[in-house]
Structure 1
Amino acid sequence: MRNTVCLVLAAAVSACGAAPDPAEPTPIETPIPVEPDGGIGDGAGPIPETDEANTTDAAIIPVRFQGVWDYEGGTCALESDLRMEVSADEILFYESIGTVNAVSADGEDTIVTLAVEGEGETWEQSTRFSLMGEGDDLRLHTSDGEQPKQADEYPSKKCPADGESE
């Protein structure tokens, strides 16, 4: 009986795993290295800077242009045909929507390339965004993004944040 107990105990101990062999090297876990640019060593680059003066691979419209805009003589109401809602990745117009394909900088201006869909049609357009003035006199000027900066006949004012018309 004593031999049976010893065999059972030996089997139980061996099932839990053998003791490490001192002749074999102990594996060392290597920590994930930190890349010089702050990455975690997986090959991914760092999070892009939010410097609005540079072209961005993320195709995001800079924050300074985001918001609801309407012609300076408009009411900011939803039915205003010159009203546009500019977000990071799309622009909602009166009867169309533009999805951002590319964003680049040209000095203080930003060139936004959109895939636009509206009234049963689709097209691509490039629009130059420029800001003029300050405070209550701040105006968004838009023009053809493939041309040098041009005067905007219909500059836009920023609408109230609450979405109500003026």
Structure 2
Amino acid sequence: MRRLPLIALTLLLPACDSRVDPAPDTPAETPISGEPGGGISDGADSPLDPAIAAGEIPARFHGVWDAVTGTCDPASDMRVEITSRRIEYYESVGDVSGMGSEGDDAIADLVMEGEGETWVQPARLSLETLPDGEQLRISDALKPESPDDPLRKRCPA
């Protein structure tokens, strides 16, 4: 009878090993950071966009954007205004707390505020060149980009 507990203890000892090895195929994440030189990169040896390195949204995304069929009127619910440190939506505003990139896309960590609530939202900003001109897609950076994410046209200045 004494051998049974000893055998069980011997079998459990390897399970008590405190070392934890990460799975070899698990990609390492780079945190989004507002610090110069921080942020997500595409893994290539290309230099980080200076605006992203400074924790700002790159100038190519700045301006007023609206739904492709929108009027660009301030009352349009798909209208967004983007500056270097802020994205203003119809009923909410997001201040940049960190920036990163994946390829040509900018990834903005936004501290959002709207309708009496606050939350953090990572947003992917990507530009697409189409026959009618350049269009902006804003999507959830934690999810795969989807063709269902709406496109926006640049509004006249």
Normalised by the length of structure 2, the TM-score is: 0.65
Aligned to 2:155: 159
1:154 positional shift = 1.6
Is there any run of 5+ residues in structure 2 with no aligned partner, and where?
A: 1-35, 37-46
Is the CA contact 1:138–1:158 (under 8 Å) kept in the aligned structure 2? yes
1:77-108 Cα offsets, whole Å, 9 max, x none, are 00000100000000111111110011101001
**Larger Rg computed on CA atoms:** 1
Aligned to 1:87: 83
1:139 positional shift = 0.6
CA distance in structure 2 between the aligned counterparts of 1:54 and 1:119, rounded to whole angstroms = 30
CA distance in structure 1 between the aligned counterparts of 2:130 and 2:100, rounded to whole angstroms = 23
**% identical equivalent positions:** 42
CA distance in structure 1 between the aligned counterparts of 2:148 and 2:51, rounded to whole angstroms = 24
- 2:49 is the counterpart of 1:52: yes
Taking a change above 3 Å as real, the CA distance of residues 159 and 55 of structure 1, as seen in their structure-2 partners, is closer
Give RMSD over aligned pairs.
2.3
CA distance in structure 2 between the aligned counterparts of 1:55 and 1:85, rounded to whole angstroms = 18
1:23-81 Cα offsets, whole Å, 9 max, x none, are xxxxxxxxxxxxxxxxxxxxxx9xxxx9527851x210000011000010111000000
Aligned to 2:135: 139
Normalised by the length of structure 1, the TM-score is: 0.61
Aligned to 2:111: 115
CA distance in structure 1 between the aligned counterparts of 2:144 and 2:51, rounded to whole angstroms = 18
Aligned to 1:41: none
Is there any run of 5+ residues in structure 1 with no aligned partner, and where?
A: 1-44, 162-166
